[in-house]
């Protein structure tokens, strides 16, 4: 995300078009991804002056405004660590907890698996199932679900 440019954001359709060369999944597959933006994110980006900024500027630059230079690789982890220190979040909580929480909510809401797969960027259903198993959202075949009395 730190390499995201203004041109990658479509405010009208509320989408971020992540080019393959800057996304984790895209580096492996060569394909880009499209992410939906929540209304709150659109508002924040508009207030930051991203809509209407020059298309080749980086979204995340020093000074919290679009700029010619992108932020360093430690930018987001440093912000997250400052947030952790100012709250009661334990050190064991990682930045990916935000993504995991959203995925958990989608599973609980019974969203279709293919939509969750798109959200997470997993290229196969098998990868998604392994990820969900790691979050304890699905059970191994060896585990038994509790049954009700008949």
Q: Where are the domains of the chain?
A: 1-71, 76-138
Output the CA–CA distances (angstroms, integers) from residue 141 to 113, 114, 117, 144, 145, in the order listed. Answer: 18, 21, 21, 8, 10
- Local structure of residue 15 (DSSP, 8 states): E
Given a contact cutoff of 8 angstroms between Cβ atoms, the answer to whether 94 and 38 are in contact is: no
37 CB-near residues (< 8 Å, 6+ apart): 9, 14, 15, 16, 45
Mean pLDDT across 39-43: 92
Residue for token digits 């909580």?
Answer: 93
Given a contact cutoff of 8 angstroms between Cβ atoms, the answer to whether 20 and 32 are in contact is: yes
Summarize pLDDT for 97-145 with one digit per residue, the tens. Answer: 877 888 888 888 889 999 899 888 888 999 999 999 888 887 655 555 5
The answer to pTM > 0.75 is no
Mean pLDDT across 70-92: 90
Given a contact cutoff of 8 angstroms between Cβ atoms, the answer to whether 27 and 20 are in contact is: yes
Mean pLDDT across 78-99: 87
């Amino acid at each position: 995300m730190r390499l995201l440019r203004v041109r990658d954001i479509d405010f009208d359709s509320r989408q971020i078009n992540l080019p393959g060369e800057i996304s984790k999944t895209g580096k492996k597959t060569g394909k880009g991804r499209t992410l939906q933006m929540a209304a709150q994110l659109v508002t924040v980006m508009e207030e930051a002056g991203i809509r209407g900024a020059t298309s080749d500027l980086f979204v995340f630059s020093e000074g919290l405004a679009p700029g010619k230079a992108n932020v360093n690789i430690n930018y987001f982890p440093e912000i997250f660590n400052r947030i952790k220190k100012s709250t009661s979040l334990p050190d064991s909580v990682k930045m990916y907890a935000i993504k995991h929480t959203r995925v958990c909510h989608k599973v609980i809401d019974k969203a279709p698996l293919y939509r969750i797969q798109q959200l997470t960027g997993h290229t196969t259903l098998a990868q998604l199932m392994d990820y969900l198993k790691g979050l304890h959202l699905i059970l191994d075949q060896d585990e038994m679900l509790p049954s009700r009395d008949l």
